[in-house]
Amino acid sequence: MDSLPSTNRPSARTDGGLNIAEAIFSRARPESPAILAGEVAVSYRELDARSAAVVARLRPAIGKATAPRIGLRCRDGAGYVVLALGILRAGGCLVPVAPELTPPEQETLVSAVALDFLLTSCDGGDAGFALETTGRSAPPAWADRFAALNPAFIRFSSGTTGRSKGVVLSHETLRARVDAANAGLQIGRGDRVLWVLPMSHHFAVSIILYLWHGAAIIIPASGLAGDLLSAASRHRATVIYAAPFHFGQLAGDGGRTPWPSLRLAVSTTSALPPETGAAFDAAFGIFPAQALGIIEAGLPCLNVPAPRDRPGSVGRVQQGFSFALIDPEGNPAPPGGQGTLLLKGPGFFDAYVDPWQERDPAMHEGWFATGDIARADPDGCLYLLGRSQAVINSGGRKFFPEEIEAVLLTHPGVAEARVSGRPDLALGMVPVAEIVPKNQRSIPADLPAFCRSRLARYKIPTDWTVVGSLPRTASGKIRRTEK
């Protein structure tokens, strides 16, 4: 990649159509807090100025490029928010590049979305970032159709290889999505949201939603329960949107740190164990409401207002959404029966990249197939029973077994490999591997280290099993289930 010189220019600009980041500041109360981190409070006025300073540096590099895809590689914090808003305000399409990805994984992402620039902050701040070009000589074949969407954001639905897809969201789609999601969340200017999720995986709707509605985002010193509760107490947090892992941590505190300002707890990324919800409820007086969040669809389901009554449900579809359950033949599932969950409503994705496919052809007669197997009770509350695909969801980070298997098969001591997800109370799922070794009866001793150099930490199998062979389908593919 070629480094670009840093340049200081005074102003931000937009180039027609809605720019959701610009609109955030046109709606905001300038002196209200936008980010609270320790002793530091960043007002909307300061967030505006800092993100505009990022725009002033980006604009000369971007030039007249339309909707350039700009990767953001930065650790979580106030600087991440500033840089992301700066990319959007400069007319760029934000592409999060999770810092935990290994160099090969990052290169796969760069290639898959035809990234134009990569913005890197080594210290997590928004002042000393570096901007690089990716060295591509020609735009992708879909560049014009992409630009016509007024794109704001691309994130992979699950992982960066295998069957995952780069999901494109336009500025208009983000606007529709944050309004639809807030029908249930009811985030407003008086709210202070305790942030605990990785920003590279949970930014386009959650952080944008909070800022759009004028709330403050509380960034704790760490993800440890003590630091979370300290930040919640100091800044009077009213909302937490977290994974079951976090609720288990906080419940373990036993309520020693009171949290009287909390009004809403939302659990996402994986199923919330009922015992974890009950323990959090006993400690803080709030039972977490399960949500169904999908990068293609936003937040179509939320179990409010009575999550205690149906602790295993993701609730009803939110206002403006509809659902259907179908059997494997495409027929409606019988009342009380299970089927593949289909959804329709506001704020659905605009297109996929790698390969390029716009929304309408990707839908099923206007419906989006989630890949979840679900049932509905007589009141229309949905219960997720499993996945129709083999995606692994570990602590909110989704990926496919194929991308791990591809790495394992490059090891000279591995003949065959099958990876699957195993239930885990803390993370929802963790990857485990079955290995057919070459010329030996044990796992190669260097295999875990081999994976650590090529895979993000959360993708490294937590358990290894030696098998003599792997079951295959009639066509020779690895069988994902034993049935």
**pLDDT per position as a tens digit, 254-268:** 667 889 999 999 998
Residue bearing the bigger pLDDT, 224 or 6: 224
Closest by Cα among 76, 79, 73 to 109? 73
Give residue 474's pLDDT band: very low, low, confident or very high (50, 70, 90). Answer: very low
Closest by Cα among 311, 317, 312, 309 to 341? 317
Give residue 477's pLDDT band: very low, low, confident or very high (50, 70, 90). Answer: low
C-alpha to C-alpha distance for 247 and 427, rounded to whole angstroms:
11
Per-residue pLDDT at 199: 93
Per-residue pLDDT at 101: 87
Per-residue pLDDT at 250: 94
Mean pLDDT, to the nearest integer, of 188-192? 97
Domain boundary among 144, 173, 202: 173
C-alpha to C-alpha distance for 103 and 63, rounded to whole angstroms:
28
Segment among 177-186, 251-260, 427-436 with least mean pLDDT? 251-260
Per-residue pLDDT at 5: 33
Per-residue pLDDT at 254: 66
Give residue 372's pLDDT band: very low, low, confident or very high (50, 70, 90). Answer: confident
Q: What are the residues whose beta carbons fall under 8 Å from the beta carbon of 219, sequence distance 6 or more?
A: 35, 36, 37, 76, 77, 78, 195, 231
Segment among 53-57, 75-79, 203-207, 341-345 with least mean pLDDT? 203-207
Please report, for the domain that includes residue 70, its CATH number: 3.40.50.980
Above 60 in pLDDT, residue 482? no
Please report, for the domain that includes residue 462, its CATH number: 3.30.300.30
Above 50 in pLDDT, residue 286? yes
Above 50 in pLDDT, residue 159? no
Pair of tokens at residue 371:
């890949």
Residue 328 counted as domain residue: no
Residue 459 counted as domain residue: yes
Give residue 9's pLDDT band: very low, low, confident or very high (50, 70, 90). Answer: very low
Residue 428 counted as domain residue: yes
DSSP, collapsed to helix, strand or coil, labels residue 253 as coil
Above 90 in pLDDT, residue 184? yes
Segment among 162-171, 338-347, 366-375, 411-420 with least mean pLDDT? 162-171
- The amino acid sitting at 89 is R
Residue 444 counted as domain residue: yes
Residue 354 counted as domain residue: no
Determine the structural domain holding residue 445 and report its residue range: 392-466
The answer to whether 184 and 318 are in contact (CB under 8 A) is: yes
Give residue 172's pLDDT band: very low, low, confident or very high (50, 70, 90). Answer: very high
Segment among 71-85, 162-176, 298-312, 430-444 with least mean pLDDT? 162-176
Domain boundary among 151, 173, 195: 173
Average pLDDT, the chain: 89
Residue 438 counted as domain residue: yes
The answer to whether 60 and 242 are in contact (CB under 8 A) is: no
Residue 296 counted as domain residue: no
Per-residue pLDDT at 388: 64
Give residue 6's pLDDT band: very low, low, confident or very high (50, 70, 90). Answer: very low
Q: What are the residues whose beta carbons fall under 8 Å from the beta carbon of 9, sequence distance 6 or more?
A: 55, 56, 57, 59, 60
Per-residue pLDDT at 269: 82
pLDDT in tens, 392-420: 889 888 787 878 988 998 899 998 899 99
Per-residue pLDDT at 7: 31
Domain count for the chain: 2
DSSP per-residue string spanning 379-432: T--EEEEEESS--EEETTEEE-HHHHHHHHTTSTTEEEEEEEEEEETTTEEEEE
Above 70 in pLDDT, residue 241? yes
Residue 235 counted as domain residue: no
Mean pLDDT, to the nearest integer, of 305-327? 94
Helix (H) or strand (E) holding 35: strand 33-37
pLDDT in tens, 77-118: 999 999 999 999 999 999 999 888 889 888 888 999 999 999
Per-residue pLDDT at 481: 59
**Which residue blocks in 64-160 are alpha helix, DSSP H?**
78-89, 103-112, 143-148
Give residue 271's pLDDT band: very low, low, confident or very high (50, 70, 90). Answer: confident
The answer to whether 97 and 198 are in contact (CB under 8 A) is: no
Per-residue pLDDT at 403: 84
Domain boundary among 173, 203, 228: 173
pLDDT in tens, 10-33: 333 344 589 999 999 999 999 999
